[in-house]
Amino acid sequence: MGRATMQDVALRAGVSRALVSLVMRNSPRVSPQRRAAVFAAATELGYRPHAMARQLASRDSTVLGVLVSDLHNQFFADLVDGVDQAAHEQGFSLLLQTGQRRAAREEQVIDTLLSFSPAGLVLLGPVVATRIMAAAARQSPVIAVTRSCRHPDIDTVTDDSEAGARLAVAHLAGLGHRRIAHLDGGNGAQAALRRRGYRAAMAEAGLAPLIVRSEYTETGGVLGARALLSSAPETTAVFCSNDLNAVGAIAELEDHGLQVPADMSVVGYDNTALAALRHVSLTTLHQPRHEMGRLAVELLLDRIRGNRDTVARLQLEPTLVVRKTTAAPRSAATAAARAVDGAATSPKREVSA
């Protein structure tokens, strides 16, 4: 099944190989007759330009290398989808590998991707050291999504997680909650920012923060909620590190006989498809995942095409999506009283799950 080459098409159309090349690249300097003849010959032979040979010869690639941390996470799957859309529109193809949240593997994957001389590299939620990313950036433009890093050669797209956390706290406090806990994202990307935003917002509202160590998983939510109930049962609202975590927390709360939102309000983060399910209907912070993927590609292409040589750090504002897992506490007055009490006796509490 030897595939047809330009030479074959040229022979069949009775022209030179160079002319076929011009036709395939839509050069305007070709007469209509020749063009038609070439196209005819090409379709007859089932000719298809050889992308790799083309890129080798022209020295510019139409491939974007994509490192995605984990496709099991809906959040990243959506990012990839956005990246794919934008890339497809611009005529780029994706060379994709998963990093499994392991730095060593990510390093290897980046190496493999670079061996294809891609036009650029898109890193979705990388955990690898900045040093490695910087090294890659010397071979090919790099953009990191959901990973803020301060290197001058690496563009980034993130959401303003600190602002998101503030929105969550403001929403809950606005409903009358005083005992608002946070199940955090541990060492995960953006987790530190969400913690910081939570702390700041709580302080500004004159409330005592309570951070429970957790992680970006359902199990993390289950364990976090369990720890919370045993150590601070007076809590009336919890801001979870992401949607998955929130769903786990809700399950655990319900197992303990608590009703959401009557007994406990819950806020997630990401607004994944999960949160939108009517059966879940989670109040959460929306990150425009699809849009983030698109923007990453656009920024990368700007860099590739030389339209920009300064670093880009795009930070998107999350928005609050109110659904059915948040409500005023059973008695706002009671909750307020307990909060004052709690703040007086323990201005700062930390629990580990």
* Residue 256 touches which of DNA, a second copy, none (Cβ within 5-8 Å per kind): none
Separation of alpha carbons 141 and 121, rounded Å = 6
- Using CB under 7 A as the binding rule, whether residue 308 contacts DNA is answered as no
Two structure tokens written together for 317: 């504002």
Q: Which is nearer to DNA, 74 or 139 (CB)?
A: 139
* Residue 7 touches which of DNA, a second copy, none (Cβ within 5-8 Å per kind): DNA
Q: Chain centroid to CA 351: how far?
A: 29
Two structure tokens written together for 76: 């990243």
154-169: burial string, b at 16+ Cβ within 10 Å, e else: bbbbbbbbbbbbbbbb
Q: Which is nearer to a second copy, 53 or 262 (CB)?
A: 53
Two structure tokens written together for 284: 């959460």
Residue of the chain from 29, 72, 131, 279 that contacts DNA (CB under 7 A): 29
User: Strand locations in 216-328, DSSP E?
Assistant: 237-240, 265-267, 284-286, 313-316, 319-321
* Backbone φ and ψ of 94, nearest 5°: -105, 130
CB of 5 to DNA, least distance (A): 4
- Using CB under 7 A as the binding rule, whether residue 349 contacts DNA is answered as no
* Residue 116 touches which of a second copy, DNA, none (Cβ within 5-8 Å per kind): a second copy
* Residue 94 touches which of a second copy, DNA, none (Cβ within 5-8 Å per kind): a second copy
Q: Chain centroid to CA 41: how far?
A: 45
Contact in structure between 224 and 183 (CB atoms under 8 Å) = yes
* Residue 17 touches which of DNA, a second copy, none (Cβ within 5-8 Å per kind): DNA
Looking at residue 78, what DSSP letter applies? Answer: H
Q: Which residue has the tokens 């083309």?
A: 54
* Residue 346 touches which of DNA, a second copy, none (Cβ within 5-8 Å per kind): none
- Using CB under 7 A as the binding rule, whether residue 50 contacts DNA is answered as yes
From 31-39, 73-81, 97-105, 124-132, span contacting DNA (CB under 7 A): 31-39
- Using CB under 7 A as the binding rule, whether residue 276 contacts DNA is answered as no
* Residue 160 touches which of DNA, a second copy, none (Cβ within 5-8 Å per kind): none
CB of 17 to DNA, least distance (A): 6
- Using CB under 7 A as the binding rule, whether residue 7 contacts DNA is answered as yes
- Using CB under 7 A as the binding rule, whether residue 134 contacts DNA is answered as no
Q: What's the half-sphere exposure (Cβ side, CA atoms, 13 Å) at 5?
A: 8
Residue in 74, 90, 131, 78 with CA at minimum distance from that of residue 107: 131
Q: Would residue 340 be called left, alpha or beta, if left means φ above 0 and alpha means ψ between -120 and 50 degrees?
A: alpha
CB of 43 to DNA, least distance (A): 14
SS3 (DSSP) at 141? coil
Q: Which of residues 62-81 bind DNA (CB under 7 A)?
A: none
Separation of alpha carbons 261 and 208, rounded Å = 21
Distances (CA, A) of 27 to 6, 20, 89: 16, 10, 21
Binding site residues, a second copy, CB under 8 A: 1, 3, 48-53, 55-56, 63, 66, 70-72, 74, 77-78, 80-81, 84-85, 88, 93-98, 111-117, 138-139, 218, 222, 247-248, 250-252, 254-255, 273-274, 277-280
Binding site for DNA (CB under 7 A): 2-3, 5-7, 15-19, 21-22, 24-25, 28-31, 33-34, 47-50, 53-54, 56-60
